[in-house]
Amino acid sequence: MRVYQELLPHSCLLILTDNDGWAGSAPLAKALRWALRHHHRRVWVDCTSVAHLSATVLALLQQGAERLRQRGGCLVLCHPPRSFGDPNDERVPASLVVAASLLDAENVNMQFE
């Protein structure tokens, strides 16, 4: 997995992509630490370019979401891969907020202003 990081005016955007080589979850862990260091309380994770989210990746995202929630923020998973299943699927951690698009993520995050 490769992770691109972008600092936006009111949020941090992490774009996950599939990688030809195996990098494991280390790039995501590093990107989440980067996002949590910033003063923004909103983190959007764009999954448009990934086919699957492993249990390890989901656990990292859940940990990041919980840390943000403690600070009054929110992590939103955008464009979940088809293999992710329905947002009401019991495999989806309850602490993860799922949005169909980045625009929907903005609407979800309005409550954290």
pTM given for the model: 0.83
Question: Using 50, 70 and 90 to split pLDDT, how confident is the model at 99?
Answer: confident
The pLDDT mean for the chain works out to 82
Render pLDDT for 64-93 as a digit per residue (tens, 0 to 9). Answer: 999 988 988 889 999 888 766 655 556 666
What stretch of H or E contains 70? helix 55-70
Residue 83: other Cβ atoms inside 10 A:
9
The CATH code of the domain that includes 104 is 3.30.750.24
Q: Residue 35 belongs to what domain range?
A: 2-112
Assess whether pLDDT exceeds 60 at residue 112: no
Based on the structure, what is the number of domains in the chain?
1
- Do residues 13 and 5 touch, judged by C-beta distance below 8 A? yes
